[in-house]
Each structure stands twice: as C-alpha cells, then as structure tokens.
Amino acid sequence: MAKLYAAAVFAFIAAVVIVVTGLSSEARFITVFFRSIVGFISAGLIVYIMLRILAAKDILDFDDFIAAKDEEALAEVDAASSPATDTAAGDDQPEVNEGGTAVEEPAQFEPLSTEDLTRMKSPEQLGK
C-alpha cells in the first residue's frame, strides 16, 4: 500500500508543477488541464513500477520497512510500559554505570515560574 501512496504523492507533485508552469506560460487552460492529467498518470505509473521493481529485487520495499518500524515502535512501547522486575523495592543504592559514576533519574517536568526567569536590563536602564 505504501507503493501506491508514494506513487500518488509523486504524481500529484508532477501535476502541480505542470499546472504552475503551464499557467505561468499563458497556455490555454484546457491544454494545461490535459497535460496535467497525462503527467499525473505517467508519473504515478513510473514511480509505482519502479517501486515494484525495487521490491522484487529486494533492494527496497516500503511495505516491509513500515512493518518493521511498526514492530520496533510496539516493542519500545511494551518495554516502557512494563515495570522493571529486576530491581528490588528496598534498594536505595544508586545505579552505577561502567565508568563508576551514578546514573541519575530523569528530571520531572516543572513549569516555569516568574521567579525562575532571568531578567535582562536594557542599556538605558543600566545608565539610569
């Protein structure tokens, strides 16, 4: 299905380019219309055929690529949502990486407040 979407996107871009160049050269509208249809169909077919050839020769297959990315994303979500079972509840020891330094927990989000902002003064305010 990704091959069809990619072909449609390239065909649409080709048709838009044909319409813009045709109208800027002051060609008749009906001529521009038919040329854009021919360009849309031919560009779509060429891209679709090329993507089918690339998939048949195992060079590049968009459908397999998208399926692999979906599986990776699902695996990451599953890993993030499952609780860590290898850490004990009573351990207060910080985790240590290979370099011997403690691994810090990621900071929690805190919204900015007016006290946290640094105020800058303009040169006019400094001179007064």
Which DSSP string do the residues of 16-56 spell out, in sequence order? HHHHHHHHHTT--HHHHHHHHHHHHHHHHHHHHHHHHHHHH
Q: Please, what is the angle between helix 2-24 and helix 29-56, to 10°?
A: 150
- pLDDT for residue 31: 94
* 10 CB-side CA count, 13 A: 17
Mean pLDDT by 10 residues, the chain (128 residues): 91 96 92 96 96 89 77 76 53 62 69 78 79
- pLDDT for residue 105: 67
- pLDDT for residue 10: 96
- pLDDT for residue 95: 66
For the full predicted model, state whether its pTM sits above 0.85. Answer: no
Find the angle CA(54)-CA(58)-CA(62) to the nearest 5 degrees.
65
- pLDDT for residue 80: 76
